Every structure is written in C-alpha cells, then in structure tokens.
C-alpha cells in the first residue's frame, strides 16, 4: 500500500470516532516495529520523526528516507510526520522529502507571532498538499504547554485555528512529555469542550503517561491523533536489557535489537487496539 496522507488517516479516524496512533521513530528498528504492529492490528498508523531525532542523526535525510521507505512497503496505510519542528527550514526539507504532514511548534512565541509564523508555514505546506499540526502556549521548561497544570482555552484554540488555517491542533489537557509512569490525570470535560469549539482534529501529546482506559476515554471525549514515544522507548530498552542480561557474551547487535523490535511491534498492536476500542459514530 502506498504512503498515505496524514489528513486522510485523521479524517477517517474522526468519521469512525476512533483514535489514530502516532508513534515516534528514533532509528530504523522503531519504524519497522511500528509498521509491523500496525499490520498485525490491521490499522493505519503515523510514523513521527521529531526535531530531536533529526538532530541525533545529524540531519533529516537518513532517518527520513528510512521511515518513508518502510512506510511505502507497508500493507496498511502509513503516514510520515515531522514532529515538534521549530525550524521553518526543517519543515521545508520535510515537505520536499515527501513527508505527509508536519507539526510546527511555535508555542514558545507570543500568541500574535505564533499565529503569523504558523500561518506562513501552513501556506507553504498546503501548496504542496502537506497537512499541518500546531499548538498553542508559551513553553516553560521541558514540558512547556504540556506541563500537567497547563490547559488550553477552547475559545483561544478556535480563534488560533481560524487565524492560521492549521489542519490539527495539539491541546493541553493534563498530559506531560517524557513521563515514565502512566498516571497522568486528563481533563475529559475540557477535551469535550475543545472538541465542540475546534473544527479540526485534536492531538494528545505526552500520551505515554496515560493509562489504557484513559486513552480510550480521551478518544471517546474527542481526541483523534494520539502521540506516544517514551512508553515505546521503555519497551524497547527493557527488551535490550533483558537480552544482554541473559547472555553476557552477546555482541551481535541484531541479537538484542531484534527482540526489542519485536517487543515494540507487539505493544504498538496492543495500543492501536486500545485507541480503536470505541464504538463508531451513529
């Protein structure tokens, strides 16, 4: 099945009142595992590459080409997304490389500047048929707009979408990035109000910290795109540690990266079931 547009996946998820999983790729094994998990679940999926991952690889081309290649060989719909890009130049490179969507993060800027810069990115991306996600708020510390106490105002969110033309909006409803425990307290009432106020799909960042039942409830309340990264890294690393502990003489990287890849694939398939465990809209 060919690479598919992120917007097409998100639109289908909204129509079916289901969530779509967006999982972060750090290396080739992640991309392979995520797609294998999606194929096992028979569900569409979004491969995400963050600006931090781009920096780790010394540029977008190596990991971007790998993710796009894996996506194009998949038997289920797969989109490739640039996550948390603060660089307009990186956004342009992703568009030229064939990414189907970008998340442009100008949340560190004042509201007016965020709107202006995001609108310019939207204009460029839409000219190339690329879907754009954005977010509101001023970043303070690592978690920024997704620190536990931060909340998105529905009226401001609706105004931001209207002013920028973005296709999806990441909102703050109680999650936090890089959580190692799954005990985030989501504001489901706020999710519902945001869903009523905002005419584009809502995105939940920091979803690694959300328990299974709350992920399902978040989708029922109105979330569509659900981003998960740290949780899969925990699964991957746990499998690597187990393989190395079982054999102190192990040096072939395939012997420990392979089990880690398989563990992530199984967890992706399970999580996609969690996100899709919602009755279709009547």
Q: How far apart are CA 47 and CA 31, in angstroms?
A: 7
Task: Encode the chain in three state secondary structure.
Answer: CCCCCHHHHHHHHHHCCCCEEEEECCCHHHHHHHHHHHHHHCCCEEEEEEHHHHHHHCCHHHHHHHHHHHHHCCCCCEEEEEEEECCHHHHHHHHHHCCCEEEECCCCCCHHHHHHHHHHHHHHHHHCCCEEEEECCCCCCCCHHHCCCCCCCHHHHHHHHHHHCCCEEECCCCCCCCCCCCCCCCCHHHHHHHHHHCCCCEEECCHHHCCHHHHHHHHHHCEEEEEECHHHHHHHHHHHHHHHHHCCCCCCHHHHHHHHHHHHHHHHHHHHHHHCCCCCCC
- As a whole number of Å, the CA-based R_g of the chain is 18
Active site residue 105: no
Q: Which is the catalytic residue, given 83, 143, 187, 214?
A: 83
Taking a C-beta distance cutoff of 8 angstroms, is the pair 237, 30 a contact?
no
Q: How far apart are CA 182 and CA 19, in angstroms?
A: 18
* Active centre residues (catalytic): 83
């Amino acid at each position: 099945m060919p690479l598919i547009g992120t917007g097409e996946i998100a639109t289908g998820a909204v129509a079916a009142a289901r969530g779509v999983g967006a999982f972060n790729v750090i290396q080739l094994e992640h991309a392979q595992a995520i797609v294998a998990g999606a194929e096992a679940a028979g569900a569409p999926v979004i491969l995400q590459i963050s600006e931090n991952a781009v920096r780790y690889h010394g540029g977008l081309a190596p990991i971007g080409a790998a993710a796009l290649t894996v996506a194009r060989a998949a038997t289920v719909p797969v989109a490739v997304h640039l996550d948390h890009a603060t660089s307009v130049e990186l956004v342009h490179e992703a568009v030229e490389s064939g990414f189907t969507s970008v998340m442009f993060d100008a949340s560190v800027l004042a509201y007016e500047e965020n709107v202006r810069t995001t609108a310019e990115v939207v204009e460029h991306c839409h000219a190339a048929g690329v879907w754009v996600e954005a977010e509101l708020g001023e970043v303070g510390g690592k978690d920024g707009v997704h620190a536990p106490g931060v909340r998105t105002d529905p009226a401001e969110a609706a105004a931001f979408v209207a002013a920028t033309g973005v296709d999806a909006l990441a909102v703050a409803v109680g999650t936090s990035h890089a959580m190692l425990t799954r005990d985030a307290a989501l504001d489901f009432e706020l999710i519902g109000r945001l869903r009523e106020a905002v005419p584009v799909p809502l995105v939940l960042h920091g979803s690694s910290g959300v328990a299974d039942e709350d992920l399902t409830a978040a989708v029922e309340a109105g979330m569509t795109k659900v981003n998960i990264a740290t949780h899969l890294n925990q699964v991957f690393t746990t499998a690597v540690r187990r393989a190395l502990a079982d054999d102190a003489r192990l040096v072939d990287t395939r012997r420990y990266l392979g089990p880690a890849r398989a563990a992530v694939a199984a967890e992706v398939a399970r999580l996609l079931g969690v996100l899709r465990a919602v009755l279709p809209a009547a």
